[in-house]
Amino acid sequence: MTESDSLLVTKLREGNKFAFEALYEKYSAKLYNTIALLVYDKSIAKDITQSSFLTIWEKRAGLDADKSFPAYLSTIARNLVYKETERLLLHHKFVENKLETETEVTEEDTTQMDVSLIEKQIEQLLHELPSTSQEIFRLKRDGELSNQEIATRLNLTERAVEAHHYRTMKLLKEELRKFIMLFLTLYFLNNC
């Protein structure tokens, strides 16, 4: 670890956002490229990269300035890649199992029902968000606008748009994961 990294980590421990941004700028591209090679999906690689740095920010008070920042960051990213890989494997197993065991209801009806329930849950979660986050999410999803276009339209910085969208997606993922687990539990209890 370089001396500048040690100084940046020391400042980050104190909550210095500029130190965080400097570390992000220094390591995010390399981390993203490494993750992309592992998961073969740019969107997932971007999410894991952002989640890794979010974890750094959340655990900044416990960082040790004498230890290797890149090694710590790599450990966080590795664990997130493992979790994502496990999630994808479980999802694929669930889909395969569902397709094998489904007899009475057509696949199309079930998929439509599942999608409908999830869409309703997403809408309910969106209504709980601040209006700016709701609008950014809808513009990205429905309007298919870039962060820069949304920033211009809403008179925000592109970084602010990214932050709103990231927090929204993180919340949706966490809450939908809980909802889906509840749904699966009820589904299996009713069909076993």
For 44-48, 127-131, 180-184, which range has the lowest pLDDT when averaged over its residues?
A: 180-184
Nearest CA to 4 among 70, 56, 84? 70
| pLDDT score recorded for residue 132 | 86
Return d(Cα 115, Cα 121) in angstroms, integer.
Answer: 10
- CB–CB of 80/48 below 8 Å? yes
Environment class of 52 (CB within 10 Å of its CB; exposed 0-12, middle 13-18, buried 19+): buried
Q: Say which amino acid occupies 145.
A: L
Q: Say which amino acid occupies 40.
A: Y
Please tell me the number of Cα atoms within 13 Å of 93 on its side-chain side: 6
Give the residue-averaged pLDDT of 165-192: 70
Residue 61 DSSP one-character state = G
- Work out the pLDDT band at 109, boundaries 50, 70, 90: very low
| pLDDT score recorded for residue 54 | 93
User: Among residues of the chain, what percentage have pLDDT more than 70?
Assistant: 76
